[in-house]
Structures are given as structure tokens and as C-alpha cells.
Amino acid sequence: MNLPPKVTERAFQRLAQINADRDGVPLRVAVLGGGCSGFQYDIRFDQPEDDDLILESEGQRVVVDPVSLPFLAGAVIDFTDELIGARFVIENPNASSSCGCGTSFSM
């Protein structure tokens, strides 16, 4: 059995800040075909579906659909605040390579 993705405390804290005035809409992390390396991440706010995996901490939720789940096995969903900008990032052990934009990868 593959390990589910993990969400860092920092990512949940940032989600709580964003959701302070948004009614606690979950953050959806999905994998789509396309992008410059074959797959790309789709990170957006979205309502959960019945078959989603829900990762929850302190009232904040991150949801992953069952199709994306195998691509995110063992991945770490984090939040980074760097010179290039503040954003949610995914450290994915399944990705064999990724591109400079950080949203596209191959397996």
C-alpha cells in the first residue's frame, strides 16, 4: 500500500490564514496530464467530492481525488515563502524530473 500524501503544519497554517474569510473551503491538490514535463499539479480551492481523500488538521482540509492519489503517494504538500513568491509546493518522491516552474513533472 502506498503512503498517502502528507501536508505540513506550515501548509495547514497558511491555509487557515487564507480561509479566515473564506468559509474554510478545502485546498484541492490534483495531478493533470500536460505541462512541460508530462504531468502538472492543479492546486486550487474546491469543495470535496464523495470519493476524495481528505487530509485534515485544526479544521483545515486538503483534498485529493482518487485518480491523482497514486501520483502523490508519499508526497509532501508544503507552503513556501521565497523571493520568487509565496505558494503551495509539492515535494514528490515519484517525480523523476520536474521543470523550473515547479508545477510540472514526469514519472
Phi first, then psi: give them for residue 21, nearest 5 degrees: -120, 25
Neighbours of 31 (CB within 10 A): 23
> How many Å from the N-terminal Cα to the C-terminal Cα in the chain?
19
pLDDT tens digits for 2-58?
789 999 999 999 999 999 988 889 999 999 887 666 788 899 999 999 999 999 998
Cell of 96: 523523476
Prediction pTM value: 0.85
DSSP letter at 90 equals: E
Domain 6-96 sits in CATH 3.40.50.970:
no
Contact criterion met (CB below 8 Å) for 29 and 68: yes
Domain segments of the chain as ranges: 6-96
DSSP letter at 4 equals: P
